[in-house]
């Protein structure tokens, strides 16, 4: 089902904070207004949209195309592509369950699955636990975003010598190019995946080499823990220290508030993670991280990304969230302390989802923050999305009020996933937001991109 939405506000109204005053309508051709298309779950399940990823532009997809998106559904592991032509018409393709990997079954995905898109190609990766066929072991699947086929066969199932470690579900995945270390070498044409699960950190060198059938030979180390129930969250890989080399950042914290009240962001040099003869089969301890940042919350790094907000600086900023305290932190290059972005609404899970990308065409990324449990207009868990501009070392909200759906319903969870997607050869990026069972694609967003991406006016 598709519904087009009109936001009955001009630019002044949006910037003044009335985005919630819009009404559902099939009329979407007023050039002065916000235009957004809502696509519902093709299987009519309200668990669609738990993760949304934007596939990058390639030479094969630029001509006449709009956005190319990957959407995960939680129940029975449904994977969809949502493809827009340059005119805004879309097509949805889906595959799920054992049709993805016929060799074994799957548990449902967690509410926030480990998920990443390859920034250089139309591949994407996700992780969870297998179903009863393989007794709940962790796996990483890598798929082709063009045809929803399996890009890397077989799926990477973590069958190690320690069954308890094998059953730690992935919580974070990042595509990366990792230099040789610890006796492991990479083929630049194949790439690496960095995976966080439990207290383990995995570097899957040459993950796309289908001749590698034994996951037990991939690099893995065990992070130091002070609590029996400590777990990892999201992971990011970038030059975070200005040394022209990639670092690996990961969030670590307790499983619940009863186990502790603080968590950490740990930033590792590659050599601190990739250790000689330390593998999935027989992992040894990671070295202490070069940088540790303590956060007064249980979920630091629940969502995480790296971005270059200053194009003149090659070192990336690290953005990480702690939704339990409605706070997003930004560690800028050269800064001693991270910036903090927060909202006064308690319990909104501000920072549950993060994205960064240039929405206004100035070559500086905007920061997009999802708060899916925001109670707006008296509606419980309606959800909201906040958009921030970066200028001179600070972030400012684009509009006085967050973006939200019209006529919100309880449990809409608007903002549980967010993405910034390139719109074909126009050079414009568009905002995409996941809600409970829905995905919203913004064709026009005054104050950010004033021309409709479909018509150029």
Q: Are 403 and 370 in contact (CB under 8 A)?
A: no
DSSP track, 329-349: EEE-TT-SS-EEEE-S-TTS-
**In Å, how far are 71, 106, 115, 153 from 79, measured between CA atoms?**
6, 13, 11, 17
457 residues of the chain, pLDDT tens digit each: 334 343 333 332 333 333 333 323 333 333 336 788 888 887 655 578 999 999 998 776 666 677 889 999 887 678 899 989 888 888 888 888 777 777 667 667 888 999 999 998 889 999 888 765 456 788 888 999 988 888 886 678 786 667 777 788 899 999 999 999 999 998 888 889 999 999 999 999 998 888 887 788 899 999 998 877 789 999 999 999 999 999 999 999 998 888 889 999 999 999 999 999 999 999 999 999 999 999 999 999 999 999 999 989 999 999 999 999 999 999 999 998 999 999 987 789 999 999 999 999 999 999 999 999 999 878 999 999 999 999 989 999 998 889 998 778 899 999 999 999 999 878 899 999 999 989 999 998 988 998 888 887 7
Residue among 82, 9, 10 at smallest CA distance from 41: 82
Which pLDDT belongs to residue 156?
81
**Residue matched to tokens 């030479």:** 59
Rg (CA), the chain: 21
Which pLDDT belongs to residue 172?
97
* Six token digits for residue 159: 């069958």
Residue among 451, 454, 331, 347 at smallest CA distance from 393: 331
What's the rounded Cα separation, in Å, for the pair 227 and 103? 36
Q: Is the pTM of this model over 0.85?
A: yes
What's the rounded Cα separation, in Å, for the pair 435 and 448? 21
Which pLDDT belongs to residue 30?
36
Which pLDDT belongs to residue 17?
32
Edge-to-edge strand ranges of the sheet holding 90-96? 48-54, 65-73, 78-85, 90-96
What's the rounded Cα separation, in Å, for the pair 132 and 145? 27
Which pLDDT belongs to residue 160?
66
Which pLDDT belongs to residue 57?
83
Which pLDDT belongs to residue 3?
40
Q: Are 384 and 2 in contact (CB under 8 A)?
A: no
Q: Are 418 and 433 in contact (CB under 8 A)?
A: yes
Edge-to-edge strand ranges of the sheet holding 263-269? 230-238, 247-254, 263-269, 291-295
């Amino acid at each position: 089902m598709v519904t087009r939405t009109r936001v009955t506000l001009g630019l002044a109204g949006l910037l003044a904070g009335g985005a919630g005053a819009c009404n559902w309508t099939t009329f979407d051709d007023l050039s002065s207004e916000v235009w957004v298309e809502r696509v519902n779950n093709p299987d009519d399940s309200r668990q669609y949209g738990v993760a949304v990823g934007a596939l990058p532009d390639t030479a094969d997809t630029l001509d006449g195309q709009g956005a190319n998106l990957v959407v995960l559904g939680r129940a029975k592991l449904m994977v969809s592509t949502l493809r827009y032509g340059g005119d805004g018409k879309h097509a949805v393709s889906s595959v799920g369950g054992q049709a993805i990997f016929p060799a074994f079954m799957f548990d449902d995905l967690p509410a926030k699955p480990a998920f990443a898109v390859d920034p250089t190609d139309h591949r994407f990766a996700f992780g969870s636990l297998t179903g009863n066929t393989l007794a709940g072991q962790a796996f990483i699947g890598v798929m082709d975003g063009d045809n929803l086929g399996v890009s890397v066969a077989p799926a990477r199932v973590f069958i190690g010598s320690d069954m308890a470690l094998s059953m730690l579900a992935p919580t974070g995945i990042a595509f990366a190019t990792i230099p040789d270390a610890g006796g492991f070498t990479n083929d630049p044409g194949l790439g690496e995946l960095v995976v966080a699960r439990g207290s383990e950190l995995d570097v899957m060198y040459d993950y796309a080499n289908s001749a590698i059938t034994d996951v037990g030979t991939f690099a893995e180390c065990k992070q130091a823990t002070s609590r029996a129930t400590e777990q990892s969250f999201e992971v990011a890989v970038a030059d975070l220290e200005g040394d022209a080399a990639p670092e690996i950042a990961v969030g670590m914290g307790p499983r619940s508030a009863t186990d502790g009240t603080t968590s950490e962001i740990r930033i590792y040099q590659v050599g601190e993670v990739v250790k000689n003869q330390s593998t999935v089969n027989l992992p040894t301890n990671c070295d202490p991280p070069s940088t540790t940042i303590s956060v007064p919350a249980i979920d630091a790094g629940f969502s995480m990304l790296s971005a270059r907000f200053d194009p003149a600086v090659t070192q990336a900023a690290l953005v990480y969230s702690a939704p339990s305290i409605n706070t997003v932190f930004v560690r800028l290059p050269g800064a001693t302390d991270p910036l903090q972005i927060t909202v006064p609404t308690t319990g909104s899970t501000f920072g549950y989802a993060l994205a960064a990308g240039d929405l206004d065409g100035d070559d500086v990324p905007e920061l997009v923050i999802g708060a899916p449990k925001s109670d707006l207009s008296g509606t419980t868990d309606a959800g909201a999305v906040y958009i921030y501009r970066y200028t001179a070392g600070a972030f400012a909200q684009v509009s006085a009020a967050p973006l939200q759906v019209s006529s919100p319903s309880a449990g809409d969870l608007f903002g549980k996933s967010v993405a910034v997607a390139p719109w074909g050869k126009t050079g414009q990026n568009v905002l995409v937001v996941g809600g409970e069972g829905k995905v919203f694609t913004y064709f026009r967003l005054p104050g950010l991109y004033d021309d409709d991406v479909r018509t150029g006016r």
